[in-house]
Amino acid sequence: VLSRPSTCRVQSTGGDKIQVHYVGRLTDGKIFDQSATRGEPFEFRLGSGQVIKGWDLGLEGMCVSERRRLTIPPNLAYGKKGAGGVIPPDATLIFEVELVQLPDKVVIVDEEPERRPAPTPEVSTSPTKLVSQTLVRPATCSSLATTGDTVSVHYTGQLIDAKKFDSSLDRGEPFVFKLGEGAVIRGWEEGVAGMCVGESRLLVVPPHLAYGKRGVGNVIPPDATLIFTVQLLKIN
């Protein structure tokens, strides 16, 4: 990651139509292709095999305006054949890529969810059951997370006073777990089930579906209601 915006409301996932600007170089620094010469971003469907495999793998989980450098070995690029007279056989390729837009995930600004929403009056007192609200849902939903699935998610967790206690975004990598095996709190087991890849949900988890009377050390107090924003990135 070369640069990443401070606020990242949506991320690229498999199946998204994405628009990027890029520069492609050989390892000796020679530029063999760049979108700037065409004057417009390059658009393709992520994960559908329209581009080299290194792109399908390397451009997942990007924020709009994020820039990444991808160093792609030959087996994830053009292999032993190369590409015409431009890319030699067995070439390692280096790309600098900026994600310009996710057309499939455009939302009206007024309706754009905050990744870390402040608690509303409706959830400021401890609920008696899980509250789940969909913030963003993709236009097409080919599969749903179910018990037994291994899922990758990004999340942010807050206390009811809006204090953040944990976030996978701060660590820079998704959290992976298997649904239905007790690897996460019960509120997550219930709240993540049924999500589409690319969907974001707000989960308000009462204490008995979280850490109960014990809490967690100095991080989560006893009998705490927890608020999570969760985005499902992948079903493995």
- Please write the tens of the pLDDT for every residue from 18-67: 999 999 999 999 999 898 877 889 998 888 888 999 999 999 999 988 99
128 against 188, higher pLDDT: 188
Active site residues: 155, 165-166, 185, 211, 228
pTM: 0.51
Mean pLDDT within 180-187 = 93
- Say if residue 222's pLDDT is above 90: yes
- Please write the tens of the pLDDT for every residue from 157-178: 988 887 889 988 878 788 999 9
Output 162-166 pairs: Cβ under 8 A, ≥24 positions apart. Answer: 162/116, 162/118, 162/119, 164/116, 165/219, 165/220, 166/219
- Say if residue 225's pLDDT is above 60: yes
Mean pLDDT within 174-189 = 93
Mean pLDDT within 63-84 = 92
pLDDT, position 175: 92
Provide φ and ψ at 186, rounded to 5°: -60, -35
CA distance 30 to 82: 15
- Say if residue 200's pLDDT is above 50: yes
Question: Helix, strand or coil for residue 11?
Answer: strand
